[in-house]
């Protein structure tokens, strides 16, 4: 059969290089399944991959998209306990902005069916990135403070909720406090500060003294925002960079390295996924699913478009000021 997919033959601006194409989806043979798309998510990293700036690029021509879920529509023999109707993750490496795909059953990850598709589709990148950063860099205990910039982002909203579930306290730095503080506080943020120099002094008051300053900070902006974080963490604090929204160079003050024993680390969820065991990936995913199921991890959807309306979807995803992700349906 044929299925719609968003394909790019060369890297470049998404609206310039993406096209809607009909691609072949063969019937599943022994050990294979066919997956029909439920929801796929649009991320900044998708734009980077299409644009040729992401850390790992696909062979061209390629189907775009990295995160989504679908239902098994057909099963060949010996499909490893998978059945028609099961919800599964759309295989990332093949590209997920497509209506259907046939893949080996061994590559399929099952996803709980009791979680709404629009929420389950967003479980694998932002929440899992937060979970790994909170567990893999600094030993944190309940009551400790965690700091982040880009606090209004989808990942920033995940952080305050996951941290709250772990008994941690958060300080989120945002560009527009008036707009974002009510939402972040409702999600569990303890404090919200503006992107300005005065926040360096204010955080000491918020946490109750320099001895309580955060051990861990998350940076996804770069530039002056990242430099400011170096003055807001405690002694031997660790700043983990996992994104660079502005594209600006990170210039850290030498004195913070010397006198505050500052540690800088990087994290890439893609690399973690490739190095972790299947058991470790499944365990992390189940932690996220459990929070979603309990209602303690909520993630907003801004708009949903069918694949054929990809130009409107991409344009919307590139707009600033949204609260929630843009998603595709078949």
In a domain, 138, yes or no: yes
95 and 165 co-located in one domain: no
- Residues 228-276 have pLDDT tens digits of 999 999 999 999 999 876 667 777 788 888 999 999 999 999 999 999 9
140 and 94 co-located in one domain: no
In a domain, 295, yes or no: no
55 and 116 co-located in one domain: yes
93 and 55 co-located in one domain: yes
E strands, the chain, in order? 2-8, 18-24, 32-41, 62-63, 67-75, 87-89, 100-104, 145-148, 169-174, 191-194, 216-219, 238-241, 263-266, 301-306, 325-329
- Residues 60-107 have pLDDT tens digits of 999 999 999 999 999 998 887 899 999 999 999 999 999 999 999 999
Q: How many Å apart are CA 78 and CA 93, to the nearest integer?
A: 23
95 and 130 co-located in one domain: no
Percentage of the chain beyond pLDDT 90 is 91
190 and 265 co-located in one domain: yes
Confidence of residue 43 (pLDDT cuts 50, 70, 90): very high
Give the count of domains, the chain: 2
In a domain, 8, yes or no: yes
pLDDT over threshold 90, residue 320: no
- The boundaries of the domain holding residue 61 are 2-122+300-329
- Residues 98-138 have pLDDT tens digits of 999 999 999 999 999 999 999 999 999 999 999 999 999 99
Q: What is the mean pLDDT of residues 156-172?
A: 98
Question: Rg (Cα) of the chain, in Å, rounded?
Answer: 21
Predicted TM-score of the model (pTM): 0.95
138 and 265 co-located in one domain: yes
What CATH number is attached to the domain comprising 220?
3.40.50.720
210 and 167 co-located in one domain: yes
In a domain, 284, yes or no: no
Q: Is the dihedral of CA 142, 146, 151, 153 positive or negative?
A: negative
What are the catalytic residues? 54
138 and 115 co-located in one domain: no
> Which residue shows structure tokens 């299947």?
278
Instruction: Answer yes or no: are the C-beta atoms of 215 and 144 closer than 8 Å.
Output: yes
174 and 306 co-located in one domain: no
């Amino acid at each position: 059969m044929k299925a719609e997919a968003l394909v790019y033959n060369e890297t470049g601006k998404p609206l310039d290089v993406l096209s809607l194409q009909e691609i072949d989806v063969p019937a599943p043979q022994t050990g294979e399944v066919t997956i029909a798309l439920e929801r796929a998510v649009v991320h900044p990293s998708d734009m980077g991959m299409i644009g040729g700036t992401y850390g790992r690029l696909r062979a061209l021509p390629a189907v775009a998209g990295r995160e989504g879920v679908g239902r098994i529509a057909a099963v060949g023999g010996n499909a490893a306990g998978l059945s028609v109707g099961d919800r599964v993750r759309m295989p990332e490496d093949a590209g997920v902005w497509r209506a259907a795909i046939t893949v080996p059953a061994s590559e399929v990850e099952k996803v709980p069916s009791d979680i709404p598709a629009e929420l389950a589709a967003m479980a694998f990148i932002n929440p899992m990135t937060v979970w790994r950063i909170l567990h893999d860099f600094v030993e944190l205990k309940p009551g400790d403070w965690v700091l982040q910039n880009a606090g209004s982002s989808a990942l920033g909203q995940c952080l305050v909720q996951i941290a709250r579930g772990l008994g941690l306290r958060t300080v989120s730095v945002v560009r527009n406090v008036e707009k974002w503080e009510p939402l972040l506080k409702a999600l569990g943020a303890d404090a919200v500060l503006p992107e300005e120099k005065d926040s360096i002094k204010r955080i000491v008051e918020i946490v109750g003294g320099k001895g309580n300053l955060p051990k861990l900070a998350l940076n996804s902006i770069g530039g002056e925002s990242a430099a400011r974080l170096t003055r807001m963490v405690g002694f031997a604090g660790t700043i983990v960079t996992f994104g660079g929204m502005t594209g600006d160079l990170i210039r850290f003050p030498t004195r913070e390295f010397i006198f505050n024993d500052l540690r800088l680390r990087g994290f890439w969820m893609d690399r973690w996924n490739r190095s972790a065991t299947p058991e470790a990936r499944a365990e992390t995913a189940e932690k996220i699913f459990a929070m979603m199921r309990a209602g303690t991890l909520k993630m907003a959807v801004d708009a949903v478009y069918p694949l054929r309306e990809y130009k409107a979807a991409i344009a919307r995803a590139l707009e600033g000021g949204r609260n929630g992700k843009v998603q595709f349906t078949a």
